[in-house]
Amino acid sequence: MTSEQGESSLAMVAEMPIDLLKLDRYFLVSAAHSKRHAEIIQFIIQLAQSLDLHILAEGVETKEQADYLLSSGCTFAQGYLYGKPMPAEEFLQKY
C-alpha cells in the first residue's frame, strides 16, 4: 500500500500520533465466507495490539460478529447491533 507521494501506508501509521485503528465493515462481512478476509482481520487486530492501539470494528450487525470480534481482541465496535443512526435529540432522550 502506498500513498500518492509514494510513501508506505504502514510507514505513515508508524509516524502518526494515533491511538485507534478502524476495521472496515467490508472485512467483517466478507470474513463469514472468506478465510483470507478472516485472516486479514486477525492480522489487523494483532498489528494494532502490538502497537498499543485500540481497534474499532465498523458495521457490526449480529451477536455472532460481536462475539467473534471480542474473542479476537477487538476493543470497540459500532453498528446496527448497538443502535441505528438517530438525531442527537433522540439520542439524548433515549440515553
Report the catalytic residues: 58
Query: Cα-flanking dihedrals φ and ψ of residue 39, to 5°?
Result: -70, -35
Helix, coil or strand: residue 76: strand
* 1 vs 81: CA distance, rounded Å: 32
